[in-house]
Amino acid sequence: MKAETKAEISHYIDTIAAAFPSPEKVLRAAFKFLRRKHRIEHPDGKFDNGGRWYPAHSEPLDTGCFRSPSRRFKYSYLTACRSARHCAVIEHCADVTLVRRIALRIEKSESIEQAIEAVRSALSAARRAKRKARAMLAASTPPAIASRPVADPGIDLCEEK
């Protein structure tokens, strides 16, 4: 990404986002992550009298997984709210790795056109991998088990990958 100022970065991200008229959850999470990483967008929250930042109720942060703010580490929750994992949770996206991968491809690209193509290739590679995993699962699972509905386990915020 050749953009240097916040306005240029914001324009760059918005232009790439406009290329995808109805973005998937993973794209919305990647764009949110980039905006927060470059301080274009800020998480909702407030500072206390000691200068420590705490998230608002609109930010679904599991505070049990992170260091509590202290005088020495005032922005521990703020840093967590700017992470790719947190942006994925906000957008209800289970694939945090793909969010990071797309954001990295956007940052490494030299032009907007190159970034759009990199995002498209990352999405198509992820779709191919998902189809391949489903096919492998269907081939290895007995028909009686494969026909049962599976509950979505959701996202575990405390789980490390």
Tokens of 147: 């026909």
3-state secondary structure the chain: CCCCCHHHHHHHHHHHHHCCCCCCHHHHHHHHHHHHHCCCCCCCEEECCCCCEEECCCCCCCHHHCCCCCCCCCCHHHHHHCCHHHHHHHCCCCCHHHHHHHHHHHHHCCCHHHHHHHHHHHHHHHHHHHHHHHHHHHHHCCHHHHCCCCCCCCCCCCCCC
Whether the per-residue pLDDT at 47 is higher than 70: the answer is: yes
Task: Determine the Cα–Cα distance for residues 7 and 136; give it in Å rounded to an integer.
Answer: 46
At 33-43, the pLDDT tens digits run 999 999 999 99
At 113-140, the pLDDT tens digits run 999 999 999 999 999 999 999 998 888 8
